[in-house]
Amino acid sequence: MGQSPSSPRINNENTDQHHYWSLVLLVMSAAPSPAASEGDSKRGEVNYRFCQECSNLLYPKEDRATSTLLYICKACHATTTHDSACTFRQHLGATVQETAGVTTDVANDPTLPRAKQICPKCREEEAVYFQSQQRAADTGMKLYYVCIACNHVYTSV
């Protein structure tokens, strides 16, 4: 069963002061999960798998006798196998930037204040801004701007 355009996607990024952890859950994927050694999938994405019989959500379960990954429907008890043994992948990074957690749609956030700041990339004159989330003594009150047109992140000069 291929992934439908309406399959829910959840982006998760947890950040702290020095490290970020990007969690890629491959437990419930609509397509077979890549093996851990294969290329990187989209970071922070969860794909759900649905029952072909009743369209309910499938849940992962281990068949201990054969050491294989199965998907079980809790409604009709249909079972499907999974080709890959990869069920979970976690990517760890060493450092976090001061702008960690900025998503591509932060410019559309109506709760953030707006300012007339010329974007150095596209020359748009409006941007949203926020204070640095890094809590270090040497950071000070540094403001970051995100262009509403191209999502470029920059600081004031």
Specify the pLDDT at position 82. Answer: 78
Close Cβ partners of 30 (under 8 Å, ≥ 6 residues apart): 1, 2, 3, 4, 7, 47, 48, 49, 50
Specify the pLDDT at position 45. Answer: 60
- Domain range summary for the chain, segments of one domain joined by +: 1-96, 106-155
Specify the pLDDT at position 98. Answer: 52
Do 1-96 and 106-155 agree at the fold level?
Answer: yes
What is the token pair recorded at 126? Answer: 């409006």
Residue whose C-alpha is closest to residue 99's, from 147, 148, 157, 145: 145
The CATH class given to the 1-96 domain equals mainly beta
Specify the pLDDT at position 91. Answer: 63
**Per-position pLDDT tens, the chain of length 157:** 444 444 444 443 333 332 332 222 333 333 333 333 334 445 556 677 889 889 899 998 888 898 888 899 999 999 988 777 676 666 655 444 555 556 677 888 888 899 999 999 999 999 999 887 666 666 667 788 999 999 888 887 5
The CATH class given to the 106-155 domain equals mainly beta
